[in-house]
Chain A
Amino acid sequence: EAGVAQSPRYKIIEKRQSVAFWCNPISGHATLYWYQQILGQGPKLLIQFQNNGVVDDSQLPKDRFSAERLKGVDSTLKIQPAKLEDSAVYLCASSLDIPRYSYEQYFGPGTRLTVT
């Protein structure tokens, strides 16, 4: 079974530029997550989709970050304009979310973003 796919793996941009990350979840997983992991910390949820609807985006900086999940499969996370403090690893995860059975999340390899 293929895992969660992400691209690119690395990205270096200058501040005020824009950047986009792509994620393809595990086949059949209805729930997709984007996390931000700053060096030395645990991942923090940015946004959660159930199919193509947003479940939780309370920690997404909406003035510069946006995300979409077209057709309930692939997702794109965009930052525009980027700030120095956006330097982090952006992780995508997916899960089946079957109540009383399993909520296990599976993570992709991440995209390491450096903003200079």
Chain B
Amino acid sequence: GIQVEQSPPDLILQEGANSTLRCNFSDSVNNLQWFHQNPWGQLINLFYIPSGTKQNGRLSATTVATERYSLLYISSSQTTDSGVYFCAVQGGSEKLVFGKGTKLTVNP
């Protein structure tokens, strides 16, 4: 099945800093989603981005499907951005497969 690798596994930032999270995947996809899991366990949809670039406020994402990677950019980070960021991909009729996540801690 499709493999998903996220990096870095852990990231510690000071409030106001920028960061880039990476997601590599092993095969072509028809679904790629970025989620933020908050400290209460809720998975919040950030982007549905099987290809191209999208922006939503301080967050943006780019997926280069031909090179099998996606990037999530967080600018001017805030303490509320803390949590785990998951990339999940789905190819063909396969199931949605999650990476192991990037744990982000934003310190005041």
Give A residues with C-beta under 8 Å from B: 33, 37, 41-45, 48, 56, 89, 91, 100, 102-107, 109-110, 112
Give B residues with C-beta under 8 Å from A: 30-31, 33, 35, 40-43, 45, 48, 86, 88, 90, 95-96, 98-101
Q: Is B100's CB under 8 angstroms from A41's CB?
A: yes
Q: Contacts A42-B98, A89-B41 known; A105 to B33 CB distance under 8 Å?
A: yes
Q: Contacts A42-B100, A42-B101, A45-B95 known; A102 to B43 CB distance under 8 Å?
A: no
Chain B residues, Cβ within 8 Å of A106: 45
Q: Is A107's CB under 8 angstroms from B31's CB?
A: no
Shortest distance between the CB of A77 and any CB in chain B (Å): 16
Q: Is B33's CB under 8 angstroms from A109's CB?
A: no
* 22 A-B contact pairs sorted by A residue (CB < 8 Å): A33-B96, A37-B41, A41-B100, A42-B88, A42-B99, A43-B43, A43-B86, A43-B88, A43-B98, A45-B95, A45-B96, A100-B30, A103-B90, A104-B33, A105-B31, A105-B33, A105-B88, A105-B96, A107-B35, A107-B43, A107-B45, A110-B41
Q: Contacts A110-B42, A112-B41 known; A56 to B95 CB distance under 8 Å?
A: yes
Chain A residues, Cβ within 8 Å of B98: 42-44
Chain B residues, Cβ within 8 Å of A43: 43, 86, 88, 98
Q: Is B99's CB under 8 angstroms from A104's CB?
A: no
Closest to B44 in A: A107
Chain A residues, Cβ within 8 Å of B45: 104, 106-107
Q: Is A42's CB under 8 angstroms from B41's CB?
A: no
